[in-house]
Amino acid sequence: MSIRLALAGNPNCGKTTMFNDLTGATQYVGNWPGVTVEKKEGKFKGDKEVLITDLPGIYSLSPYTLEEVVARDYLVNEKPQAIMNLVDASNIERNLYLTTQLLEMGIPVVIALNMMDIVKKRGDVIDVKKLSQELGVPVVETAAIKGEGTRELVETAKKAAKAAKAPAVHGFGGSIENAVTEIEKLIADVTEPAQRRWFAVKLFERDSKVQARFTLGKDVQDKIEKLITAVEEELDDDAESIITDARYQYIGKLVKDCVKKKKTGLSTSDKIDHIVTNRILALPIFALVMWLVYYVSVTTAGGIFTDWANDGVFGDGWHLFTIGAADYEEATAEYDDQITRRDAWLEAADEAGIDTAALTEALEAEEADETAIADAAAAIEVDPAAASVVGTAEFEDEDSGEVTTEDVTLATFEETMTAEEPDPADFGVWVPGIPVLLEKLFASMGVNEDGWVYSLVMDGIVAGVGAVLGFVPQMLILFFFLAILEDCGYMARVAFIMDRIFRKFGLSGKSFIPMLIGSGCGVPAVMASRTIEQERDRRMTIMTTCFVPCGAKLPIIAMFAGAFFGGSGTIAFSAYVLGVLSIIISGIMLKKFKIFTGDPAPFVMELPSYHVPTAGNVFRSMWERGSSFIKKAGTVILLSTIFMWFTLGYGWEGGAFCAVSDIDNSIMARIGSVIAPIFTLPGFGNWKGTVATISGLVAKENVVATFGQLYHFVGEVAEDGSEIWSELAADFTQVGAYAFMAFNLLCAPCFAAMGAIKREMNNGKWTALAIGYMCAYAYVVSTIIYQIGGLITGELTFGIGTVVAIAFIALIIFLLFRKPAKADSTEGLRRMSVDAN
């Protein structure tokens, strides 16, 4: 028979690290029944009969957040055989508050004093034996980040589970204890003995969910209320505060008796916080950190690996371990020099009146005809004037930038005629890319290159999905750095840094946590908003969270940064800044409406001590985020690319429905052409940009996948994998490209995130309002960028578009500085909810 253990503790106490260390690869993640809170379970690595459930991080068992309700419902209804309560030993007083509640639940408890390595480093001393005696339960020292004490913890919990002995609980003393004891007697018929104490305390606190759990007679309810009221009058406080104060008095005495703190100066964490949370330096440091993260992820390391993925895995191939790559580059450079010499002489010959048209045409043909080239060259060579022609070839040194010139004579030109483009497979160890392997496979199977099967796979799936997966390396590197920042404790500080700013704009630091999560994926980000108690703040957070560029939007940023801005990391960082600015601007504007007015909720959160991130946690977090993206590419994006392939490859030509030779006659081209005029003001009123934008509503990665298909149909795949970039540059200007990127980053998120918004809003009108606001805001911002930016760069002249952009700017300024509504926002929320139902 398996042993079920629950892992409970405060947020940032090391619970996730502990769970990962105990379960390793045997864990599985789902959702708790009926809610979207994540549920993690796993089997203990040392004993597969032990099932460990990781409860959501909570500060208490009060019913204020969905996480707290989920955790306590599991403990009350599922009754695990033992609870492993993780306590941050470096912040023991705050963590023991939850412990006092867990001890009342009638379930065996084992306390894990985690982060003991930090306690010892500080020079503090915790009398573990005395603490165990005072609490009446086993106490085990652990350091989850180092894997110390974790096995002993589980073994101790197994023994406690088998003994099945409920822990003794401390008494509150005086009139409080008398009232709780009397309530226990009154509910004896409807509760089990082991849980009676916990239910009695919760009824004393007037816990609404516990009150609704029991059907108590009116006389019993009156007696309980009389007992509570008497204590409240005696102590001049409300019942819940009385219990809270009693718990902390008990904890204070416990800590005083069992913990001896070394009186020293500031800790290392405090010294670091004096710099990174400084009122003046905090934001510049955060901006610098995020710029470096995006610069490395997109421009340097990310760019190298993405080039390898695009040019190698989803291109012609790559040199294994770069063996032979240098020789190939040298041969390619020599070949390019020969072509430069050839072109220089042909240009000079053409200026001298020699007919070079036939030779130029033969040389530029897609398939080289050696006979035609030889005949055309011979006709030139016999011309007496050819011997006197001298061309000038220019060569630029890549390192120094110095330009040198060289005279090209007929003899030199004749040498260039024998130059052959080097084949990378002839150098070192060459690994062919997926398209090459598929072409060879189809050739061996006799699949017709003009048939629909070949077109579906190569022009549809490979061109679409491959265009997206090529950016996976950049995403993984970004997730890697974010995981490091989270695991070391810095991101918890960022939430407090942003609280100072967000509070001025009507939001609390709690709103930053969903936005931080949103840098990975919008779905969990929207779900994370449930930790915000006030409904108006929670809804406004949901409406603005998806402005932060998620992992799925990174390929869009990388594609346009590469196509128009030389792979600039600054452009990538500016996309992140644009998202944060949009959140701030939206917070100010929305807070002026009566349904959002009111002070933001206070922000309280534990700040963990800084520590060195563990490789396991970092890589696990990176892979969890990255794998979800890859899975989406293998399902949603795959189906989308197949649909796009059909609608792009088929249409009406010559009055009949057929496979089209011109993509402009396709089904999708007709649909896009009808919608395209709407996007004229933001600068991408062509059907290709419109189609890519619409496909992005299914999954944001589809924007890149769609361009991959659109431009793969246009021509041959370039050898350097930049066919999408070059074709994009032909259809967009720099300003227009940035406006397109901005619109797709700010508009409605993917279908999955929209579904999460619907579940969290639980209201059709609010969902429509949220999605509509995002789309409208994106349209306004992208129009301003294109029209005003184009006017500044000279791409556009003053016209109706400029007037509309100025009107949009005036509207934003008005909404930012107008007086806030005085109406009660709570009533507005209630009325809207009632209307929707």
Binned at pLDDT 50, 70 and 90, residue 828 comes out as very low
- Whether the per-residue pLDDT at 717 is higher than 60: the answer is no
Quote the pLDDT of residue 713.
Answer: 47
Give the length of the chain. 837
Q: In 11-32, which positions are buried (b, 16+ CB within 10 angstroms) versus exposed (e)?
A: bbbbbbbbbbbbbeeebeeeeb
Q: How far is CA 54 from the centre of its chain?
A: 23
- Whether the per-residue pLDDT at 87 is higher than 80: the answer is yes
Of 107-116, 248-257, 582-591, least confident by mean pLDDT is 582-591
Binned at pLDDT 50, 70 and 90, residue 371 comes out as confident
- Whether the per-residue pLDDT at 429 is higher than 70: the answer is yes
Radius of gyration of the chain (CA): 34
∠808-814-818 over CA atoms, to 5°?
Answer: 160
103 closest CA partner among 58, 53, 158, 166: 166
Percent of the chain residues topping a pLDDT of 90: 16
Structure tokens, 747: 């508009």
Residue pair 35/66 in contact (Cβ under 8 Å)? The answer is: yes
Domains along the chain? 3-163 (3.40.50.300), 174-260 (1.10.287.1770), 325-426 (no CATH), 473-836 (no CATH)
- Whether the per-residue pLDDT at 823 is higher than 60: the answer is no
Quote the pLDDT of residue 826.
Answer: 40
DSSP states of 803-822:
HHHHHHHHHHHHHHHSPPP-
Q: In 746-759, which positions are buried (b, 16+ CB within 10 angstroms) versus exposed (e)?
A: bbbbbebbbebbbe
Burial bucket for residue 156 (CB in 10 Å: 0-12, 13-18, 19+): buried
Strands 656-659, 82-88: parallel, antiparallel or unpaired by DSSP?
A: unpaired
Quote the pLDDT of residue 837.
Answer: 32
In angstroms, the Cα distances linking 706 to 166, 680, 710, 712 are 61, 20, 6, 10
DSSP states of 353-383:
T---HHHHHHHHSSS--HHHHHHHHHHHHTS
Q: How far is CA 26 from the centre of its chain?
A: 25
Q: What is the mean pLDDT of residues 33-45?
A: 71
Q: How far is CA 701 from the centre of its chain?
A: 13
Residue with tokens 């200026």: 351
Of 81-90, 292-301, 473-482, 664-673, least confident by mean pLDDT is 292-301
Bridge partner residues of 50 (DSSP): 3
Q: What is the mean pLDDT of residues 484-502?
A: 77
462 closest CA partner among 205, 638, 686, 226: 638
Beta strand spans in 385-451 (E): 391-396, 403-408, 430-432
H/E element holding 524?
Answer: helix 522-528
- Whether the per-residue pLDDT at 743 is higher than 80: the answer is yes
In angstroms, the Cα distances linking 713 to 12, 23, 313, 315 are 51, 49, 20, 16
> Which tens digit of pLDDT belongs to each residue from 761-793?
777 888 889 889 999 999 999 999 989 988 888
Quote the pLDDT of residue 567.
Answer: 63
Residue with tokens 């001049």: 236
213 closest CA partner among 195, 233, 230: 195
Quote the pLDDT of residue 4.
Answer: 92
Structure tokens, 125: 């001393």
What secondary structure, in 3-state letters, does 711-745 show? HHHHCCCCCCCCHHHHHHHHHCCHHHHHHHHHHHH
The Cα–Cα gap between 553 and 740 comes to 12
Residue with tokens 């206070």: 602
**Best-predicted range by mean pLDDT among 298-312, 416-430, 555-569?**
416-430
- Whether the per-residue pLDDT at 90 is higher than 70: the answer is yes
Q: Is residue 526 left, alpha or beta, with left meaning phi > 0 and alpha meaning psi from -120 to 50?
A: alpha
551 closest CA partner among 497, 458, 624: 624
Quote the pLDDT of residue 637.
Answer: 65
Mean pLDDT of the chain: 80
- Whether the per-residue pLDDT at 722 is higher than 50: the answer is no
Structure tokens, 108: 């065996």
List, in order, residues 6 or more apart from 62 with CB less than 8 Å away. 68, 205, 207, 240
Largest CA distance in the chain: 122
∠519-311-297 over CA atoms, to 5°?
Answer: 25
Q: What is the mean pLDDT of residues 409-437?
A: 87
Q: In 230-240, which positions are buried (b, 16+ CB within 10 angstroms) versus exposed (e)?
A: ebeeebeeebe
List, in order, residues 6 or more apart from 36 with CB less than 8 Å away. 527, 756, 759, 760
Structure tokens, 179: 């009232």
* Cα dihedral sign, 732-734-740-744: positive
Q: What is the mean pLDDT of residues 224-242?
A: 89
Identify which has the larger pLDDT, 11 or 552: 11
Structure tokens, 569: 């990391």
Bridge partner residues of 31 (DSSP): 38
List, in order, residues 6 or more apart from 408 with CB less than 8 Å away. 341, 344, 345, 348, 390, 391, 392, 393
- Whether the per-residue pLDDT at 271 is higher than 70: the answer is yes
Quote the pLDDT of residue 101.
Answer: 92
Q: What is the mean pLDDT of residues 381-392?
A: 86
The Cα–Cα gap between 549 and 745 comes to 6
- Whether the per-residue pLDDT at 80 is higher than 60: the answer is yes
Binned at pLDDT 50, 70 and 90, residue 831 comes out as very low
Residue pair 52/23 in contact (Cβ under 8 Å)? The answer is: yes
Q: What is the mean pLDDT of residues 539-562?
A: 79
> Which tens digit of pLDDT belongs to each residue from 671-705?
888 888 888 888 887 788 888 888 777 767 677 77
Q: What is the mean pLDDT of residues 209-224?
A: 87
Structure tokens, 349: 């010959």
- Whether the per-residue pLDDT at 751 is higher than 80: the answer is no
- Whether the per-residue pLDDT at 81 is higher than 90: the answer is yes
Quote the pLDDT of residue 369.
Answer: 75
List, in order, residues 6 or more apart from 527 with CB less than 8 Å away. 36, 37, 756, 760
Quote the pLDDT of residue 455.
Answer: 76
The Cα–Cα gap between 536 and 512 comes to 15
Q: What is the mean pLDDT of residues 748-760?
A: 75
The Cα–Cα gap between 705 and 462 comes to 9
The Cα–Cα gap between 23 and 44 comes to 5
Quote the pLDDT of residue 836.
Answer: 36
In angstroms, the Cα distances linking 750 to 639, 703, 780 are 15, 11, 20
Q: What is the mean pLDDT of residues 131-143?
A: 92
Q: What is the mean pLDDT of residues 119-136?
A: 89
Bridge partner residues of 9 (DSSP): 86
Alpha helix segments (H runs only) across 214-281: 218-235, 239-258, 268-276
